[in-house]
Amino acid sequence: MIDSSFKPERDVVHYNDWAPTYEDSKVQRIRNDIHQSLVDWAASSGIQPKRILDVGCGTGALLRRVGPAFPDAELNGVDISPNMVKEASRKVPKGLRVHFLQGPAEKLPFEDGSFDLVVTTICFHHWRSRVEGIAEVHRVLAPGGRFYIADHFAIGWLRALFIAFRCRDRCHTPRELNRMLRDAGFSVQGWKRLYKLWGWLPLIQGVVAEKRP
């Protein structure tokens, strides 16, 4: 699904400019909480991935949390913004095995079946085409591999908000996303609320899907 009113190049310019101070922003505390919720969710499933990919990795903050949860895994991040990739590479702590590449979700620079686990947080709605991006994630996952998405979805009060701001084409309902995942060859395993604004207002939901053999 491509939203003709959405200009992904604007996002690239915006995030390129923001990259040096991205982790200094006040909303970073919210991102950190969402990252930790996603990591805890994946770790509690009992999976033991050998190779992990973060699509839309930004400055690598999520992967720095994933590392301790899966110490034996090779970590990889990809982002469409070259400056984000540069910042992510600069922030890698000593001893963490992680690699970053520049590229869009719709054309991931990896071979088929390269990963056991793919994650993306608050980036999915920025993809130029969610359908193409999901197909690419399916391609780079090994059979049985898991795909975790954490993002804004058109649920409850957020649905009216996205309609008002004319971004409903990029923010899907669970039914819409479940269908997109199934059509791409995934089996949807479940949904989870990952973050509430002010402790009570649902803001970020997560979905996990498995690549069918």
Q: Phi and psi (nearest 5°) for 11?
A: -65, -40
pLDDT tens per residue across span 121-170: 999 999 999 999 999 999 999 999 999 999 999 888 888 888 887 788 88
Two tokens, residue 179:
């269908």
Q: What is the pTM of this model?
A: 0.91
Q: Are 157 and 171 in contact (CB under 8 A)?
A: no
**pLDDT, position 90:** 96
In whole angstroms, give the CA distance from residue 48 to residue 97: 16
Strands lying side by side in the sheet with 51-55: 98-102, 74-79, 51-55, 115-121, 141-151, 201-211, 186-197
